[in-house]
Structure 1
């Protein structure tokens, strides 16, 4: 047999093996080693932090449910939305807007919602430099404002609704991409104000207040950010981020995973892991109806989910 023929035969055999492996994986029962439950964490902090802590979560789930898991950290929530449509995502820790879009397009279901510092709802905030002379929301008229991105609930939708409700027209808007970038732009005076997520302050072991809003993300770079950048106003409340399940998963599987997640966050290692990943201190059961107010807010700002994605 010639060397060319041999190489051709090997290539054909390899292709068949890959195809067979792919078919076997697709036909394997969900939750097995060949077809593990695919759990996605949308990035909110450094990917290494999520990766390290999600391993602890994966180990716990595999010890306390009859399933195997594969954890992925995608580049964006849009990637997770589309993964639900192609069955490459079974469970995801999502932002509010991403969930609404995934539910609209693929019927994804919110089964849990996160709790932060005892609250199941959250707010956005407008921030300004302390020396800006801006004292109230109405002073933002004619100013340059930094937002996170069009599909960010706390970094765009909620603050835009605040401006719309008060009839305020700004001079210019820019999208910074991330909450910490917005804070940095305000700190450096590149914009007059910015919109980010708000979380109430916590207290350390000595009872001293510690900021938990978006300003904490740049404290290493700007240790005086709490003094230089102040909160101008807070928005209305919305339900916290959901943990979302693919519609086609069996109810038995969904319930077992939900119960294991609820138990995990009550363990010391669970509390530490989820706080590091998303600032979560607990989780509770939720339904799709809990996010009706978020849907209504999107309509109030004059858009739908698909429109906001296209703005990006």
Structure 2
């Protein structure tokens, strides 16, 4: 009888101990998601540097993760499987609308807090947007700002009717498909050149395809939107948030942090922001006849 009681008590004691683990402890780290815009291995490798930095600066344990797609980040914030995320603007709007998530930081790239979408092609016969009528086209993800929503608006405004549209999942996958001729054109993010060298999504595949800048050209660029936000789930502890915000701001102060942040999302730093900074993005959604949740239907 005593043996049976002992067997029953041990699991109860274990559950009681794990329930008492505080968020940010070694056994219950803060879950930090990185939106999967490029190769997951690159995100995880550089995310580890950010993970270590936050722990050193705040004493809080953080675990980086790369969800399978853009919407998985949104849903994980809603279910509290993710506490903090660096995500794309439209993904943030969905997380804010559905689950009350809040943006507190915005990415900065060499003083700029905006970026664009772009349409790329390798086909010499495609010289203007109208030439895309009836063509096979690759977008990134239904909730990708630069890889779907912005170029979709551009194509709609130009009255372009694509022949076939597919979702490749990541920006580097779109570039690869265009380079290999598997699609006629595609949509990715665009950032400003640096010292005359292009810094848009084509750079993600430069090692695999050294001539990508020569072979794949930019057909058109979209309007700009605010940079990617750092988003916290609803009811995340305020004191912890403040510590993480300050740690993120100081991350690029070291050579390792500067390099990691650039590799992650081609950013040079972060600045404070609020939800109001993304009102312009909401208007774009209205302009293309959608609301935020329509993106995932």
* TM-score normalised by the chain length of structure 1: 0.85
Contact 1:132/1:192, CA 8 A, preserved across alignment: no
Please name the residue that 1:58 is paired with: 51
Say whether 1:36 aligns with 2:36: no
**Distance apart, 1:34 and its partner CA:** 4.5
Say whether 1:230 aligns with 2:217: yes
In structure 1, C-alpha distance between the alignment counterparts of 2:113 and 2:156, rounded to whole Å = 25
In structure 2, C-alpha distance between the alignment counterparts of 1:179 and 1:57, rounded to whole Å = 22
Please name the residue that 2:146 is paired with: 154
Please name the residue that 1:206 is paired with: none
In structure 2, C-alpha distance between the alignment counterparts of 1:275 and 1:253, rounded to whole Å = 25
In structure 1, C-alpha distance between the alignment counterparts of 2:279 and 2:242, rounded to whole Å = 23
Gap change, CA 1:138 and 1:253, over 3 Å in 2: same
Residue 83 of structure 1, aligned match among 76, 80, 101:
76
- State how 1:165-244 maps to structure 2 within 5 Å: 165-203=157-195, 209-244=196-231
In structure 2, C-alpha distance between the alignment counterparts of 1:37 and 1:100, rounded to whole Å = 22
Residue 94 of structure 1, aligned match among 71, 87, 100:
87
**Distance apart, 1:295 and its partner CA:** 1.6
Root-mean-square deviation over aligned CA pairs: 2.4
Residue 15 of structure 1, aligned match among 11, 16, 20:
11
- State how 1:211-290 maps to structure 2 within 5 Å: 211-290=198-277
In structure 1, C-alpha distance between the alignment counterparts of 2:145 and 2:107, rounded to whole Å = 15
Say whether 1:109 aligns with 2:102: yes
Aligned residues: 297
**Distance apart, 1:14 and its partner CA:** 5.0
**Distance apart, 1:211 and its partner CA:** 2.3
Q: Give structure 2 stretches of 5+ with no counterpart.
A: none
Select the structure of larger CA radius of gyration: 1
Residue 118 of structure 2, aligned match among 117, 120, 125:
125
Residue 142 of structure 1, aligned match among 134, 141, 147:
134
* TM-score normalised by the chain length of structure 2: 0.89
Gap change, CA 1:109 and 1:224, over 3 Å in 2: same
The answer to which of 226-235 and 38-47 deviates more is 38-47
1:257-305, Cα deviation, whole Å (9 max, x unpaired): 2122112223322211211222111111111111112122122222233
